[in-house]
């Protein structure tokens, strides 16, 4: 009610009925329409009772005409007619008037909007309480007058015009019940004020005083509920109200015969009479002014006849005219501006008085022509045609599209109708068709900002952002332009200012134009300092510009201009989170939840931060918040997945897996749940096949999921002991993310497990350079270097022992074999070297490999002859010490056999012994 864009339509009782309707039937449309139809039936019953009361009161002969006031006060005291009682009218005639008026009210097509349109319930409820208040007031007892005031309050709580029934009270009391004309009542009032003597009709004067005072009280309360200011409407809702003299006055007066014609001839009914439906009358020479003149002539004549006449018909007519005029007056634009030009629904209560006038006229016609059949034939035709029109008109209200398309049969100059048809296609996501109607609206009303915004919106939906931006810039030119040296303020409807937000959303997709967007939002804030959305959007832009402190200042300012603070506090939490200030983020999110307990984003984001702390108390708080999110949005898969993570941190493993399984049943590809499930299983049940299945399921949908690949590599390396597969996985991660130091470190560890220590050393050195602060890398590097040092010593020792073993073997062979068989030494040596061994060295030198290759290339016949000659000379020498050598050889062979068994040399290490062949 305090917002500038509010229509100030404070109707608490009407809203209450909608709430009850929703509690019982939910959102089923039929239930709302059914209630409206039943309410219309109740209204018709009450209207019939009211008509009977009015007619009976009018023609009741027991109620005397006004008697002459004290003669000495004024010569105009002789106010009576020749008779002092009203002639009695047959009860049949009274019933004719009452029933005719009620049936005409029942079938009048003007009521379709109020009854078929769900929001027309305000008219129905207000009418019920208006009629009830009149019926109560007519009994004139204290309790009934109090009851009438209560019903009047309920009528106003249903719709604002309900307060006008107080004026009907006065007319009923003065003109109909007491048979006083308006001048009689004024004279009586003067006499009462000026004379100390006893004056008749004192109770009438006191009731009038109470009615007026109660009316003032209700007006005060209503104005207070409106925020002590009148509503402001768009110029297109009511163009005449914004026009200058004489267009404003001529057009607003012309609207009176337009409304009257709708009651007389409801043929061209229209759901929306705004914008260009009724063009402004800008000149006194406009032919439509004739209708205005005729209306005022008839209206003044009828008013004089009704309020200053003394005949029964004039008394009845006075109440009928009051029922037409007073309920219509607030919507006439004559007292203050309303948000429409013509609205059929506001004629619902005035039609009670109108149909009563028609019934009285038919009664007079019967008396005049004395041909009942002709009158009844006319009445029958009138009722049947009205009933048919009502039925046909209901089909136009089948849905929005049929309703607005039916309006095109009446007018094609109303841009709002074209826009509304476009919106029906927009709701069906038929952007192309919607764009066609929006462009037509812009063509009909070139200065319609809303139409241009709709065109831009459809161009955005059709992925034509550049065209949309051009349209928005065109629409922006319709705003009042700032004048140099003067402050720029403009009173515009807030929804029009959303143009700046849309334009900014398009421009900010280009990061290089963020400063341009910032300037745009500054402009709209200068235009309307209370436009909260501009502060919020500018705050978001400042965040993108890395000006977080200014963004927070924007949000703080926005808090001063709105009571809806939850979204703003949420945005502040987001800014703090982007700054790494988790405390500030939690504070912002918590304040957002305080102002809106169902703020899903604040609940979720705060739960994420609380879960990251791993603190048990905070985890329980996060659990409460995320469970509330799931209660609000049972299909929120992210919230369910996060709840699983919280369960995992609380060591509630079964609940965690259940949460993730529930998510995966709905969305098998939900990445977070797939990974979390695999991660949890790797911790609690890594040796089972379930863990690997979960990991492979993740990688099936997301083959490049880095964390999933890392987890898979860890399991293959540490659990399955498949070093080759682990190396391949870590290498894949490095290929995907060359800067992933964790993957490189894991790759280095796998090299160690594969026995490739030298490569592992080089790998860890690279990782330590890339991540110098990583302690595990340094520790692992030290371990690898230590192992390499040990292996070097071991290799040197093995090499020396291998040389000794080779020498012992040669000596044994020389002493044992004869000279002719000495040439077999190399063959025996090759057999010996090729024997399988139990243990191997972990490293080989490149020099040994080269020696082996060179020796194999040198095995030619010449070399073999040289070696044979050397062997023969050795045999001759050994014969000289044969006896002694044989014994020594036997002992040495035994020793040598045992010594050789001690060495478990690798194949490549044994080949290094080939370099000893040169010594033979």
Task: Kindly state the tokens that stand for 828.
Answer: 């025996």
Render pLDDT for 80-96 as a digit per residue (tens, 0 to 9).
433 344 445 567 888 88
State the Cα–Cα distance between residues 613 and 227, nearest whole angstrom.
47
Q: Are 328 and 259 in contact (CB under 8 A)?
A: yes
- pLDDT score of 870: 55
How many CB atoms sit inside 10 A of residue 463's CB?
8
Q: Which residues pair with 64 in a beta bridge?
A: 85
How many CB atoms sit inside 10 A of residue 7's CB?
13
- pLDDT score of 798: 66
Please name the residues in contact with 464: beta carbons below 8 A apart, sequence gap of 6 or more.
Answer: none
**At 455, is the secondary structure helix, strand, or coil?**
helix
Is the pLDDT reported for residue 227 higher than 60? yes
- pLDDT score of 283: 92
Q: Which residue from 339, 338, 243, 249 is spatially nearest to 286, judged by alpha carbons?
A: 249
- pLDDT score of 874: 52
Region of residue 244 (phi > 0: left; psi between -120 and 50: alpha; otherwise: beta): beta
Query: What is the pTM assigned to this prediction?
Result: 0.67
Residue 405: enclosing H or E segment and its boundaries?
A: helix 400-407
Percent of the chain with pLDDT over 70: 80
State the Cα–Cα distance between residues 639 and 630, nearest whole angstrom.
6
Kindly report the CA angle at 227 between 237 and 146, in degrees rounded to 5?
100
- pLDDT score of 808: 59
How far lies 164's CA from each of 7, 161, 228, in Å? 19, 6, 20
Between helix 312-328 and helix 289-308 the angle, nearest 10°, is 130
The sign of the dihedral angle between the CA atoms of 375, 378, 381, 385 is: negative
Phi, psi of 254 (to 5 degrees): -70, -25
Residue in the block written with tokens 């006004």: 66
How many CB atoms sit inside 10 A of residue 589's CB?
30
What burial class does residue 592 get, using C-beta atoms within 10 Å of its C-beta: 0-12 exposed, 13-18 middle, 19+ buried? buried
SS3 readout for 522-572: HHHHHHCCCCHHHHHHHHHHHHHCCCHHHHHHHHHHHHCCCCCCHHHHHHH
State the Cα–Cα distance between residues 708 and 699, nearest whole angstrom.
7
Q: Are 604 and 633 in contact (CB under 8 A)?
A: no
Render pLDDT for 768-798 as a digit per residue (tens, 0 to 9).
888 887 777 888 888 888 877 877 777 776 6
- How many Cα atoms are found within 13 Å in the side-chain-facing hemisphere of 593? 21
**At 656, is the secondary structure helix, strand, or coil?**
helix
Please name the residues in contact with 584: beta carbons below 8 A apart, sequence gap of 6 or more.
Answer: 572, 573, 576
Please, what is the average pLDDT of the chain?
A: 82
Residue in the block written with tokens 């914008």: 275
- pLDDT score of 815: 54
State the Cα–Cα distance between residues 436 and 426, nearest whole angstrom.
11
Q: Where does the pLDDT of residue 918 fall: very low under 50, low under 70, confident under 90, or very high at 90 and above?
A: very low
Determine which of 14-18, 73-77, 464-468, 648-652 has the lowest per-residue pLDDT on average.
73-77
- pLDDT score of 845: 40
SS3 readout for 775-822: HHHHHHHHHHHHHHHHHHHHHHHHHHHHHHHHHHHHHHHHHHCCHHHH
How far lies 244's CA from each of 211, 250, 275, 481, in Å? 37, 10, 16, 21
Render pLDDT for 859-912 as a digit per residue (tens, 0 to 9).
444 444 554 555 556 545 545 544 554 555 455 444 444 433 433 433 443 444
How far lies 420's CA from each of 1, 345, 454, 746, in Å? 26, 19, 10, 63
Higher-pLDDT residue of 835, 443: 443
What burial class does residue 451 get, using C-beta atoms within 10 Å of its C-beta: 0-12 exposed, 13-18 middle, 19+ buried? buried
Task: Kindly state the tokens that stand for 650.
Answer: 């609380």
Percent of the chain with pLDDT over 90: 50
SS3 readout for 179-243: CCCHHHHHHHHHHHHHCCCCCCCHHHHHHHHHHHHHHHHHHHHHHHHCCCCCCCCCCCCCHHHHC
Task: Kindly state the tokens that stand for 605.
Answer: 């984001």
State the Cα–Cα distance between residues 766 and 745, nearest whole angstrom.
9
Q: Which DSSP category does 64 fall into? A: B
State the Cα–Cα distance between residues 731 and 738, nearest whole angstrom.
10
Mean pLDDT over residues 55-71, rounded?
A: 58
State the Cα–Cα distance between residues 814 and 824, nearest whole angstrom.
10
Task: Kindly state the tokens that stand for 577.
Answer: 């989170």
Q: Where does the pLDDT of residue 64 fall: very low under 50, low under 70, confident under 90, or very high at 90 and above?
A: very low
Peptide bond into 119 cis (omega under 30): no
Is the pLDDT reported for residue 32 higher than 90? yes
State the Cα–Cα distance between residues 407 and 277, nearest whole angstrom.
10
All structural domains of the chain, each given as residue ranges with its CATH number in brackets, are 563-634 (1.25.40.10), 653-703 (no CATH), 704-796 (1.25.40.10)
Is the pLDDT reported for residue 843 higher than 90? no
Is the pLDDT reported for residue 76 higher than 50? no
Render pLDDT for 638-676 as a digit per residue (tens, 0 to 9).
999 999 999 999 999 999 999 999 999 999 998 989 999
**At 85, is the secondary structure helix, strand, or coil?**
strand
Task: Kindly state the tokens that stand for 559.
Answer: 């808090």
Q: Where does the pLDDT of residue 355 fall: very low under 50, low under 70, confident under 90, or very high at 90 and above?
A: very high
Q: Which residue from 296, 282, 278 is spatially nearest to 246, judged by alpha carbons?
A: 282
């Amino acid at each position: 009610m305090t917002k500038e864009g509010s229509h100030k339509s404070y109707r608490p009782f009407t809203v209450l009925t909608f709430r009850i309707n929703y509690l019982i039937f939910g959102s089923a449309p039929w239930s709302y329409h059914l209630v409206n139809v039943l309410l219309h039936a109740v209204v018709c019953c009450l209207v019939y009772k009211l008509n009977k009361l009015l007619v009976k009161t009018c023609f009741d002969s027991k109620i005397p005409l006004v008697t002459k006031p004290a003669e000495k006060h004024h010569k105009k005291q002789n106010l009576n007619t020749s008779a002092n009682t009203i002639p009695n009218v047959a009860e049949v005639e009274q019933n004719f008037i009452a029933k005719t008026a009620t049936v005409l009210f029942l079938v009048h097509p003007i009521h379709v909007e109020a009854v078929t349109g769900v929001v027309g319930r305000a008219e129905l409820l207000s009418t019920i309480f208006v009629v009830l208040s009149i019926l109560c007031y007519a009994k004139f007892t204290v309790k009934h007058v109090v009851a009438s005031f209560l019903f009047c309050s309920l009528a106003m709580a249903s719709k604002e015009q309900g307060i006008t029934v107080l004026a009907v009270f006065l007319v009923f009391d003065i003109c109909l019940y007491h048979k006083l004309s308006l001048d009689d009542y004024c004279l009586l009032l003067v006499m009462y004020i000026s004379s100390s003597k006893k004056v008749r009709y004192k109770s009438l004067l006191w009731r009038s005083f109470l009615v007026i005072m109660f009316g003032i009280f209700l007006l005060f309360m209503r104005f207070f509920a409106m925020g002590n200011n009148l509503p402001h409407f768009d110029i297109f809702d009511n163009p005449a109200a914004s026009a200058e003299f004489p267009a404003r006055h001529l057009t607003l007066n012309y609207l009176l015969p337009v409304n009257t014609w709708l009651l007389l001839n409801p043929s061209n009914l229209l759901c929306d009479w705004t914008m260009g439906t009724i063009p402004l009358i800008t000149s006194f020479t406009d032919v439509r002014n004739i209708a205005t003149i005729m209306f005022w002539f008839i209206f003044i004549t009828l008013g004089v006849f009704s309020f200053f006449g003394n005949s029964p018909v004039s008394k009845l007519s006075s109440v009928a005219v009051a029922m037409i005029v007073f309920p219509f007056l607030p919507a006439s634009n004559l007292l203050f501006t309303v948000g429409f030009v013509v609205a059929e629904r506001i004629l619902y209560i005035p039609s009670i008085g109108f149909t009563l006038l028609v019934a009285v006229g038919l009664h007079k016609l019967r008396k005049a022509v004395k041909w009942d059949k002709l009158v009844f034939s006319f009445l029958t035709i009138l009722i049947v045609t009205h009933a048919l029109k009502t039925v046909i008109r209901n089909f136009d209200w089948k849905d929005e599209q049929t309703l607005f398309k039916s309006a095109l049969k009446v007018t094609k100059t109303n841009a709002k109708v074209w826009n509304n048809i476009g919106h029906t296609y927009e709701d069906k996501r038929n952007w192309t068709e919607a764009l066609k109607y929006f462009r037509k609206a812009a063509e009909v009303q070139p200065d319609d900002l809303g139409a241009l915004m709709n065109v831009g919106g459809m161009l955005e939906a059709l992925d034509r952002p550049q065209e949309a931006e051009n349209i928005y810039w065109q629409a922006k030119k319709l705003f009042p332009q700032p004048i140099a040296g003067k402050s720029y303020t403009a009173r515009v409807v807030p929804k029009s200012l959303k143009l700046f937000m849309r334009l900014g959303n398009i421009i900010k997709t280009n990061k290089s134009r963020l400063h341009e967007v910032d300037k745009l939002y500054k402009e709209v804030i200068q235009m309307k300092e209370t436009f909260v959305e501009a502060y919020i959007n500018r705050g978001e832009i400042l965040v993108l510009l890395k000006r977080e402190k200014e963004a927070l200042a924007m949000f703080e300012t926005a808090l001063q201009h709105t009571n809806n603070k939850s979204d703003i506090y949420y945005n502040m939490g987001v800014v703090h989170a982007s700054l790494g200030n988790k405390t500030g983020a939690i504070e912002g999110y918590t304040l957002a939840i305080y102002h809106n307990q169902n703020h899903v984003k604040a609940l979720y984001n705060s739960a994420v931060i609380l879960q990251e702390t791993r603190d048990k108390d905070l985890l329980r708080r996060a659990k409460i918040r995320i469970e509330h999110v799931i209660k609000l949005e049972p299909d929120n898969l992210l919230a369910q997945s996060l709840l699983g993570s919280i369960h995992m941190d609380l060591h509630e493993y079964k609940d965690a897996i259940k949460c993730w399984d529930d998510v995966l049943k709905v969305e098998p590809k939900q990445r977070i749940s797939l990974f979390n499930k695999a991660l949890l299983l790797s911790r609690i049940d890594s040796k089972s096949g379930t863990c690997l299945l979960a990991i492979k399921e993740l990688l099936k949908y997301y083959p490049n999921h880095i964390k999933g690949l890392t987890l898979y590599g860890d399991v293959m390396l540490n659990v399955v002991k498949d070093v080759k597969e682990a190396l391949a996985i870590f290498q894949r991660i490095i290929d995907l993310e060359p800067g992933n130091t964790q993957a490189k470190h894991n790759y280095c560890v796998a090299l160690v497990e594969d026995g490739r220590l030298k490569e592992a050393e080089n790998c860890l050195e690279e990782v330590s350079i890339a991540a110098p602060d990583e302690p595990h890398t340094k520790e692992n590097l030290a371990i690898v270097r230590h192992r390499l040092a040990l292996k070097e010593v071991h290799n040197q020792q093995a090499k020396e022992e291998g040389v000794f073993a080779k020498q012992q073997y040669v000596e044994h062979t020389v002493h044992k074999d004869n000279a002719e068989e000495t040439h077999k030494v190399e063959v025996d040596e090759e057999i010996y070297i090729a024997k399988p061994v139990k243990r191997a060295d972990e490293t080989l030198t490149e020099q040994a490999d080269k020696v082996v290759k060179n020796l194999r290339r040198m095995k030619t016949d010449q070399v073999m002859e040289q070696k044979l000659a050397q062997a023969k000379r050795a045999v001759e020498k050994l014969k000289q010490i044969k006896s002694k050598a044989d014994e020594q050889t036997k002992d040495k062979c035994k020793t040598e056999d045992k010594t050789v068994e001690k060495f478990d040399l690798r194949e490549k290490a044994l080949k290094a012994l080939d370099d000893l062949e040169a010594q033979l």
